[in-house]
A = this chain, B = another copy of it.
Amino acid sequence: MAEEEKYVQAIVDKSQDFSGWYGDVVIQAQLADYAPVKGCMVIRPYGFGIWELMQSLLDARFKATGHQNAYFPLLIPESFLAKEAEHVEGFAPQVAWVTQGGEDRLEERLAIRPTSEAIICSMYSKWIDSWRDLPVLINQWCNVLRWEKVTRPFLRTTEFLWQEGHTAHRSEQEAEEEVLRMLGVYRDFIQEDLAIPVVPGRKTENEKFAGALRTYSVEALMGDGKGLQAATSHNLGQHFARVFNITFQDEDGERKFVWQTSWGLSTRMIGAVVMVHGDDAGLIIPPRIAPVQAIIVPIWRKDAEKEAVRATVEKVEASLKPAVRVRSDWSEHTPGWKFNEWELKGVPLRLEVGPRDVQKEQVVAVRRDNRAKEMVPWVKAPDRVPELLAEVQSSLFSRALAFREANTRNADILADFEEIIADQRGFVNAHWCGQTACELAIKERTGATIRCIPMDQAREEGECIYCRLPSHGRVVFARSY
């Protein structure tokens, strides 16, 4: 084995250039690559492995709350998209249009879905007839396209993968309950599975979904102090029901419009995981969504040692397999090179097995998050390794929460607000009068937007940081992705 092999994948220093660091990590850990189509990316197997785990965990939560999956067409006739006025205004500038099919020039342009309300509503108006047909609780996992000017892998790309839930209900109250239920599903998924703390809240009128009555979101803080909208849940009211004529005969015999919701989460969350947990050595993937949870690195100098090490590695690997996504790295590289490579890839736990460990009947476990080392006797590995993974999961969340708390500040006057946003970033809790004009003026001046009006907003009398009109509680501002 070559002793002097040097690990060459230098990545930019995170504290110096967060954006450069992010790009390096995404590319070098082989999460994704740039595609030869403007604004598009390829999700490589390692990145897609994370997405598959996210999908399976989130999908189980959807099914546990009574939702089923379906699949609706990619293409939406322009006239459908145009039915809901706010909706078309919000999305038309971002639509990719199909104008030619085979040899035929199309009579009506077809939009590649930027979101699927229009096509799904057209089907719901056909499927729903009686109160007995309600609620309709459908989700789809699919690709969507939004023509973007500035793109970054995962965070903003022309094409991305997501899920979009679309439900129809008998009453306004039922729809609102669904909207909040799914917001809670997102909060739990992101906090428990992705180890990212979020602030659930309501979006302002200005930031709500095009066509919605109300939008809720969960908001996260990235490692550079910028906010990121992690998922959204919309109460669509009867806006779409009225234009797509989705009605049902109620128990009282009356024909009524349904109440609808929609909610979504995308591959953007892979970018959030990178930005919240990563460090100068690369990715740190929370164990629950790590394609490889533990990597065994065999260490030997002489060929004579190799066989004993191999026997131990195989035994340990087999004993862990039922409960842990474990692999061993028998490539030709040096142990040092492997350590760097698997740290770059963010594998939560490294298990080293050298000749001395063979003798002592142990493995050396090294945590990726804090590099804490621990000798684990072979026989205890099947119990101890899952425990260590659970500890990494929970400590990643605690660390992210502590970071967010340290970077959440109150501001009561505009000068302080501007200084915080410019110098420290983070979340800034400030009073706001509720007027869109103030919201936009603050954005213009500082680049910060209202991320949300938090669900647990405490009543507190104050004055709008911009116009000094009275306010009864603080909202969360940040610069954002």
A323: interface (CB < 8 Å): no
The residues of B that contact A158 with a CB separation of less than 8 Å are: 101
The residues of B that contact A112 with a CB separation of less than 8 Å are: 74, 98, 112
This chain's copy number in the assembly: 2
A102: interface (CB < 8 Å): yes
The residues of B that contact A330 with a CB separation of less than 8 Å are: none
Complexed CA–CA distance, A72 and B37 (Å): 11
Q: Is A48 a contact of B70 with CB atoms below 8 Å?
A: yes
Complexed CA–CA distance, A159 and B72 (Å): 10
A250: interface (CB < 8 Å): no
Query: Nearest-CB distance from A64 to chain B (Å)?
Result: 14
Complexed CA–CA distance, A33 and B125 (Å): 13
List CB contacts (< 8 Å) of A15-61 with chain B. Answer: 33, 35-38, 40-45, 48-49, 51-52
The residues of B that contact A94 with a CB separation of less than 8 Å are: 102
List CB contacts (< 8 Å) of A56-92 with chain B. Answer: 68-77, 80
A 344-355 binary contact with B (CB < 8 Å = 1; else 0) = 000000000000
Question: Among the listed stretches A137-145, A392-400, A424-432, which one makes contact with chain B, having 4 or more residues with CB under 8 Å of it?
Answer: A137-145
A438: interface (CB < 8 Å): no
Q: Contacts A45-B69, A100-B97 given: A145-B77 contact, CB under 8 Å?
A: no
Q: Is A97 a contact of B96 with CB atoms below 8 Å?
A: no
A122: interface (CB < 8 Å): yes
Complexed CA–CA distance, A159 and B71 (Å): 11
The residues of B that contact A95 with a CB separation of less than 8 Å are: 102
* A43, A49, A101, A161 interface centre (most CB from chain B within 10 Å): A101
List CB contacts (< 8 Å) of A278-296 with chain B. Answer: none
A11: interface (CB < 8 Å): no
Given contacts A35-B123, A45-B69, 6 further A-B contacts (CB under 8 A): A37-B75, A42-B123, A49-B69, A93-B103, A99-B99, A101-B147
Interface residues of A (CB under 8 A from B): 33, 35-38, 40-45, 48-49, 51-52, 68-77, 80, 93-104, 109-110, 112, 119, 122-123, 126-127, 138, 142-143, 145, 147, 158-159, 161
| A137: nearest chain-B partner, CB-CB | B45
Complexed CA–CA distance, A49 and B123 (Å): 18
What are 11 sample pairs from A and B whose C-beta atoms fall under 8 A apart? A33-B127, A35-B72, A36-B77, A36-B122, A42-B70, A42-B73, A43-B71, A48-B69, A74-B145, A97-B98, A98-B99
Complexed CA–CA distance, A41 and B71 (Å): 9
| A110: nearest chain-B partner, CB-CB | B37
Query: Nearest-CB distance from A165 to chain B (Å)?
Result: 12
Query: Nearest-CB distance from A242 to chain B (Å)?
Result: 18
Complexed CA–CA distance, A144 and B147 (Å): 20
The residues of B that contact A127 with a CB separation of less than 8 Å are: 33
The residues of B that contact A126 with a CB separation of less than 8 Å are: 33
The residues of B that contact A143 with a CB separation of less than 8 Å are: 74, 142-143
Q: Contacts A45-B69, A48-B70, A69-B52 given: A37-B123 contact, CB under 8 Å?
A: no
Complexed CA–CA distance, A74 and B71 (Å): 16
The residues of B that contact A36 with a CB separation of less than 8 Å are: 77, 80, 119, 122
Q: Is A72 a contact of B42 with CB atoms below 8 Å?
A: yes
| A30: nearest chain-B partner, CB-CB | B127
